[in-house]
Homo-oligomer: A and B are copies of this chain.
Amino acid sequence: MTTDNTGPIRFTDRTHTTLHPATTARITGGFWAARRATNAEVSIPQGPSKLEEAGNLANLRAAADGKGTFTGDFQFQDSDVHKWLEAASWQLADSPEDTQLAAHIEELTALLAAAQDADGYLQTYYQVAHPELRWQELDWGHELYCAGHLIQAAVAHHRATGRRELLDVAERFAAHIDATFGKDKAIDGVCGHPEIETALVELYRETGERRWLDLAGYFVDRRGYGVLNAGADRGDDRDMGRSYWQDRVSVREADTVEGHAVRQLYLLAGATDLAAETGDAELRAALERLWDAMVATKTYVTGGVGSRYEGEAFGDPFELPPDRAYAETCAAISSVQWSWRMALLTGEAKYSDLVERTLFNGFLSGVGLDGDSWLYVNPLQVREEHADRSGDQTARRTPWFRCACCPPNVMRLLASLPHYVASGDAEGMQLHQYATGVYAAGEGVVRVETAYPWDGRITVTVEEAPADRDWSLSLRIPSWCTQFKASAPDGSAPTETGDGWLRVHRRWSEGDTLTLDLDLTARLTRPDPRVDAVRGCVAVERGPLVHCLEGVDQQPGVRLDDVTLPYGSELAVAQEPELLGGVAVVTADGRRRSDGGGVRLTAVPYYAWANREEGAMRVWIPEE
């Protein structure tokens, strides 16, 4: 156990939520520990050199020195640095002995401090390349977006190390923004890319300064009234404008998620933070409505969101093409961030159901097993002849991107992952996710041991609990799970209470154990008939994992556009410790459409696709 609540969200006594995140959380083994080790040992350490190669650090030096030119294609280049710093800070909290990491963090922090202007402004694109355009391009400028990532990095750094260097930089910038933006200030407007909203609320939580919360509230509620109007100003035929910028309708009045997925979800995370701090019931109702609409109509089985390449947008309800799924890795991350805030706000298990589905599938596919190759988009189908790559980057992992938003975003989520596992309230503790580790929340501490998702057995041992009264230990029963068996210390078999939680309310002693066995029988999932693009298909799932067929795993000569799964096919599961870092595969007797011949189909977990030779892949299999 390291510092208290070393994670992205730390509520205060004034926060209006049902649950609080764990005060300490540490993943010590199992599935996620392995992925986090790769993140710590490969992904994060490579960050500084990748940022150096891409010019991000040169930009900071150019801003600091007042000479040099700007490198890179995007105004928001700095945000890659900020996100890496956030990731590195969470990681440092986990491994404080890593002096090299600490040194890198210190170096980049110093660079940022040196690059900051005297008035607090900090964005190298406008400092180095276009000082005359500062705050003049709110639509594309990403200035508040970068500020938001800087603030989140600073909060992480402060929580992880107790040091204020980066927090000072962030607060100076925030003060400059607060002095500039507002109803009666120099600029009455918002940023084309939401992000600062959630960051400012967290800065308020970290510092206690009310003005950051008020500023976040201003930014959330100023949107939706055509403030940006960028598309219209350009006379653009296409209606990218207001939905894209999250400026067509206010969050309070919206009926569904729309427009650019990452922008929408960062905004909704910020709005949830706002509702948590203000207790605003209208806003909370809107958020619940929007989340339900997203899950019911605009979410892939992988948890991926943002179907559409054009505008990186959610698209229409049930517009969920598997082949042209955009499902940006960053969108999956922002979905996790928002859903976790909703879970804490409401206490409802369904939000953590989506977090689990997204983490194990549409998020984790974004990083290669090597920790050093990335997917920007996460399709659910790639055809054999995937030759027309016009405007496309599917099916190939890439060492870094020109627009490198995803890699450091993955790093920061993996580095802060323990934060998403457990929560507490006055009554007890809730386990939202299952990962071997030690978690303290509310007034208790538990130890979890599990080989999940390969095995369904989860053993929770109480290390601390209130000695003088009954206390609840609540385990989320995943919505995919139709059968499970729990065993309480008294030998009873508690059941789920209809709301997705299995609660054991009793007097606990140190060493008491609650075991849960989730049935991991592989299953076939059929889509809503309104999801036109996968009509007549099934997806293979096992536990929280969505599986997929990859060409490389099939019998020689088998084409994925030629195979079907006959009705009533039986699924078999085999553990393959040597395959893809150790996975369970699901197999079934399929059929070749071309000649009617039988063919054994092998489905690997989706998160592990595209780690071997290039080829066809599909999640949804025609059932005939």
**A537 nearest CB neighbor, chain B only:** B535
Cα distance, A597 to B401, chains bound together (Å): 52
| A-side interface size class | 35 or more
Contact between chains at B390 and A243 (CB < 8 Å): yes
Contact between chains at B391 and A314 (CB < 8 Å): no
The answer to the question of A316 belonging to the interface, with a C-beta cut-off of 8 Å to chain B, is: yes
Interface residues of A in 295-346 (CB under 8 A from B): 308-311, 313-319, 321-324
Contact of A309 among B260, B309, B388, B403 (CB under 8 A): B309
Contact between chains at B311 and A310 (CB < 8 Å): no
Residues in chain B near residue A318, CB distance under 8 A: 383, 561
Residues in chain B near residue A622, CB distance under 8 A: 529, 532, 535
The answer to the question of A505 belonging to the interface, with a C-beta cut-off of 8 Å to chain B, is: no
Chain B binder among A28-36, A231-239, A604-612: A231-239
Contact of A324 among B322, B324, B535, B593 (CB under 8 A): B324
Contact between chains at B317 and A389 (CB < 8 Å): no
Task: Give A374 Cβ to nearest chain B Cβ, in Å.
Answer: 11
The answer to the question of A186 belonging to the interface, with a C-beta cut-off of 8 Å to chain B, is: no
Interface of A is mostly: loop
Task: Give A624 Cβ to nearest chain B Cβ, in Å.
Answer: 8
Residues in chain B near residue A314, CB distance under 8 A: 388, 390
Residues in chain B near residue A236, CB distance under 8 A: 402
Per-residue CB contact flags for chain A residues 385-406 toward chain B (1 = under 8 Å, else 0) read 1111111110000100111000
A393/B535 contact (C-beta < 8 A), A258-B388, A324-B321, A622-B529 known: no
Contact between chains at A240 and B387 (CB < 8 Å): no
Residues in chain B near residue A310, CB distance under 8 A: 309-310, 390-392
Task: Give A525 Cβ to nearest chain B Cβ, in Å.
Answer: 16
The answer to the question of A507 belonging to the interface, with a C-beta cut-off of 8 Å to chain B, is: no
Cα distance, A402 to B238, chains bound together (Å): 9
Residues in chain B near residue A75, CB distance under 8 A: none
Residues in chain B near residue A323, CB distance under 8 A: 316, 319, 321, 532-533
Contact between chains at A256 and B317 (CB < 8 Å): no
The answer to the question of A600 belonging to the interface, with a C-beta cut-off of 8 Å to chain B, is: no
Residues in chain B near residue A408, CB distance under 8 A: none
Cα distance, A385 to B239, chains bound together (Å): 15
**A314 nearest CB neighbor, chain B only:** B388
Residues in chain B near residue A534, CB distance under 8 A: 532, 535
Contact between chains at A244 and B324 (CB < 8 Å): no
Cα distance, A256 to B384, chains bound together (Å): 14
Task: Give A47 Cβ to nearest chain B Cβ, in Å.
Answer: 18
Contact of A387 among B258, B311, B530 (CB under 8 A): B258
Contact between chains at B238 and A392 (CB < 8 Å): yes
The answer to the question of A598 belonging to the interface, with a C-beta cut-off of 8 Å to chain B, is: no
Contact of A308 among B319, B390, B402 (CB under 8 A): B390
**A311 nearest CB neighbor, chain B only:** B390
The answer to the question of A381 belonging to the interface, with a C-beta cut-off of 8 Å to chain B, is: yes
**A529 nearest CB neighbor, chain B only:** B593
The answer to the question of A536 belonging to the interface, with a C-beta cut-off of 8 Å to chain B, is: yes
The answer to the question of A444 belonging to the interface, with a C-beta cut-off of 8 Å to chain B, is: no
Cα distance, A398 to B534, chains bound together (Å): 32
Per-residue CB contact flags for chain A residues 248-291 toward chain B (1 = under 8 Å, else 0) read 00000000101110000000000000000000000000000000
Interface residues of A in 442-469 (CB under 8 A from B): none
Cα distance, A319 to B236, chains bound together (Å): 28
Residues in chain B near residue A535, CB distance under 8 A: 534-537, 622
Cα distance, A424 to B203, chains bound together (Å): 80
**A326 nearest CB neighbor, chain B only:** B310
Task: Give A200 Cβ to nearest chain B Cβ, in Å.
Answer: 26
* Of A383, A534, A593, most B-chain CB atoms within 10 Å: A383
Residues in chain B near residue A381, CB distance under 8 A: 532
Task: Give A69 Cβ to nearest chain B Cβ, in Å.
Answer: 16
Task: Give A396 Cβ to nearest chain B Cβ, in Å.
Answer: 9
Contact between chains at B536 and A390 (CB < 8 Å): no
**A389 nearest CB neighbor, chain B only:** B239
Q: What would 18 more interface pairs be, CB under 8 Å, given A310-B390, A313-B390?
A: A236-B402, A237-B376, A237-B401, A239-B389, A239-B392, A240-B391, A244-B391, A259-B390, A308-B388, A308-B391, A310-B310, A311-B391, A313-B388, A315-B390, A316-B387, A319-B324, A532-B537, A535-B536
Q: Can you list the 9 inter-chain pairs with the closest CB atoms, starting with the nearest?
A: A311-B390, A310-B391, A313-B390, A239-B389, A311-B391, A536-B536, A309-B310, A535-B536, A258-B388
Instruction: Show 17 A/B contacts (Cβ-Cβ < 8 Å), sorted by A.
Output: A73-B235, A237-B393, A237-B398, A237-B402, A238-B392, A239-B393, A308-B391, A309-B310, A310-B391, A313-B391, A314-B390, A317-B383, A319-B388, A323-B532, A324-B324, A381-B532, A530-B561
